[in-house]
Structure 1
Amino acid sequence: MLENIKISTRMILSYGVITILMVGIGLYSSLALHAGKSNINDITKLIFQITQVNNIINNVSIVASEFITIIIDPDKSLKENELQRIAVYRKNENKLFAILIKKVSDEKGVALVKAAAELRNTYVQVSDKFIGLVTEGQIQDALQLMFGEMRQAQSAYLQSLDDLVTVMEERSLAASVHADKQASAAEIYILILLGGFVIVSVLISFFTIRSITGSVDKDLALRCSHGPG
């Protein structure tokens, strides 16, 4: 069959098949890299979200310590400074929460963020009431509120944030495991494809060269059989 095809055509076909195989391997490798990049992006986003939630938790803890300061320290100027700091921390917390709401997109995460936001609103309302009592000098009532309703609201709020972190960490771990499995599978497939490419390339080269040399040998034999001239 190959004997009826020009040598140049055989060469073109051989190199064409090899080129197609190379392009195929390149495309698969590119897709595998893209999938790996996507997995890394997902993990990075989750880590960022976990950091955001931990920053919010840290913010809540700092504000809680400020609440203790304003209730035990009789210095009015110091209380005013602490109240200003509380306002700054709350503003920062608002920003962190706004970013978190935008970034979290999975159904379970969105539900947990929504629940945390509702509990946060409750906690803020109670803490505002606490600040009002302290400002008015009603320390006993403020203490009662702090160790009662406000503590419960704060605990519920922090627990919701802890639950959110737990879910995010589980998702991050699952994404890491998935990425590792996908990378390992891609590595195996690429090695198999490369091995197949080498074998096919060798076979194509062998049969192409054999067909060419066979044609040349036959032509030489035919010329020799006719003798010189």
Structure 2
Amino acid sequence: MFRNIKIGTRLAIGFSAILALLIVVVSIGVSRINEINGDIRSLVRDDFPKTVIANEIIDALNVNARILRNIYIFKDSEMQKEIDLLPEKSRVITAGIEKLDKMIATDVGKISLQKVKDARVPYLAEVERYLSLIKSGQREEAAGMLSGTLRNTQDNYIAAVLSLVDGQSALIVQRGQAAENLAASAENLLLILTGVAAVLSAVLGWLITRSITEPTRQLMNHANEMAAGNFGNTVTLSQQDEVGILAQSLRTMQSAVQTMIADTALLSKAAVDGKLTTRADASQHQGDFRKIVQGVNDTLDAVIGPLNVAAKYVEQIAIGDIPKPITESYNGDFNTLKNNLNACIEATNQQAAAAQAISKGDLSVSIKVRSDNDIMAKSLVDVVQAVGALVADANMLSQSTLEGKLSVRADAAKHLGDFRKVIQGLNATLESVVVPVNEVMAVLG
């Protein structure tokens, strides 16, 4: 079906069909998601905040009830403190009602909110009458209001707010159910469309894949034979697409590789035999094959010189005759080899100079540690630190003696080996001097 159609055209047909199906699925999915998102946005930004505000009003009313009770219980200044709390709660309720008035858009919601407003009027009137009785000292009448008319108006007020909350909660449930139904519908539709798209994509993909893999498998078998060293089989595949062109190129490559293999074998055998002057005839090859053979020839030319220099320098370093740095120019890894040899020469000279300085008592010498495995440099650093610590403790003991602090001793535990013995000897010497001195001071004292 696709034998003589270009592979690019086949793939374009397949991907275009899959892309079209994908666009349909995504478009429907995005549309349904936007609808669900609208319902969720309404829940989060409109329905739920209105319920929260209504509950805040109920909370404020409950706080007012406690305040009104406390006003009856407390007297004088404590009572006045409770009275002063009422305006704040009233402002909270007023602000909540004003917010709801702006947010509620449905007729049912507006009716419920109006009932809240209507129930608030007698409640506020009863609160004012209750406060007047308290302030005038008519506490018995005020107590009757707490369980009578004031309580009734408050219950009616709260019932109106609860009715508003119930209405808003019903809207939330209704909108949530609508979103749930829409999500289920979208899920089913997307599953069906995805299934159809998957089947069509699989069939189209199988047809296109088979039209490519079958001839490619034949070429792969020929390539495997070549990889195994068998270049005698001829590629017979013939068709008008890229695979056919590749088959012709593979046939041409067979001949070129056979010629290159022969020259490579020649150079390899010569190198194994130590005949490093042997070279292949690059003119027998074309294009990059010629470059490969010429490159091998150039590689052999480039290897001989640097290897001879490196061997000579390594031989000199091995017998302790440190040569001067290499000044010739090399490329690539040979330049790295040269730099490493020069670095070795420089480091060896630096360490030798450092050792000579230490032997002359110069502990200020700088020692470069090239890596964690540079044992020689680390050892020299340890020597400098150990001798430095020894000198510091000796100077400390000397200074203490000059200042008459004969009880001062150095900490021998900080030193190792013979350095510790030296410090211990200095401490012992001071002990042998201090004892007679202390005895003389005791007699004179």
Match of 1:51 in 2: 52
- Amino acid paired to 2:163: D
Give the gaps of 5 or more residues in structure 2.
213-237, 242-445
The CA deviation string for residues 18-68 of structure 1, in whole angstroms up to 9 with x for no partner, is 322211211111122222222222333333322221221111111011111
**Letter paired with 1:120:** R
Normalised to the residue count of structure 2, the TM-score between the two structures is 0.43
- Partner residue in 1 for 2:357: none
> What pairs up with 1:158-197 in 2 under 5 angstroms?
158-197=158-197
**Cα displacement (A) at 1:151:** 2.1
Q: Secondary structure at the match of 1:137?
A: coil
Shift of 1:122: 2.4
- SS class of match (1:105): coil
For 2:95 and 2:107, locate their aligned partners in 1 and report how far apart those are by CA, in whole Å: 22
Q: More displaced, 202-211 or 111-120? A: 202-211
Partners of 2:47 and 2:240 lie apart in 1 by 70
Q: CA deviation at 1:195?
A: 0.9
Rounded to whole Å, the distance in 2 between the matches of 1:59 and 1:209 is 72
Could you list the runs of 4 or more consecutive aligned residues of structure 1 that deviate by over 4 angstroms after TM superposition? 5-14, 203-212, 217-220
- Aligned equivalent of 1:66: 67
> Take 1:219 and 1:77, find their aligned partners in 2: how far apart are those partners?
105
The code of the aligned residue for 2:193 comes to L
Q: TM-score, normalised to structure 1's length?
A: 0.78
RMSD: 3.1
Change (3 A) 1:136 1:24: same
Cross-structure match for 2:200: 200
**Which structure carries more helix by proportion?**
1
Deviations 1:75-109 (A, max 9, x none): 22112111111111111111222222222222211
Deviation at 1:208, TM superposition (A): 6.8
Superposed, which structure 2 residues align to 1:117-128 within 5 Å?
Answer: 117-128=117-128
Residue 133 of structure 2 is matched in structure 1 by: 133
1-side partners of 2:119 and 2:240: how far apart? 92
Q: d(CA) in 1 for partners of 2:147 and 2:13?
A: 84
Query: Equivalences for 1:208-227 in 2 at 5 Å?
Result: none
**What's the offset of the Cα at 1:202?**
3.5
Q: Match for 1:104: what amino acid?
A: I
2:321 counterpart residue number: none
Provide structure 1 residue ranges, at least 5 long, that are not aligned to the other structure: 221-229
Q: Compute the displacement of 1:163 (Å).
A: 1.3
Cα separation, 2, equivalents of 1:106 and 1:10: 58
Identity, % of aligned positions: 20
Judge conservation of contact 2:69–2:146 (CA < 8 Å) in 1. Answer: no
| Structure 1 residues 219 and 6, CA gap change in structure 2 (3 angstroms) | closer
CA contact (8 A) 2:71 2:79 kept: yes
Compare CA radii of gyration and give the structure with the larger one. Answer: 2
Contact 2:119–2:153 (8 Å) recurs in 1? yes
**How many pairs align?**
217
State the AA in 2 paired with 1:190: L
SS of structure 2 residue aligned to 1:193 = helix
Question: Could you tell me how far apart the structure 1 residues matched to 2:56 and 2:240 are?
Answer: 83
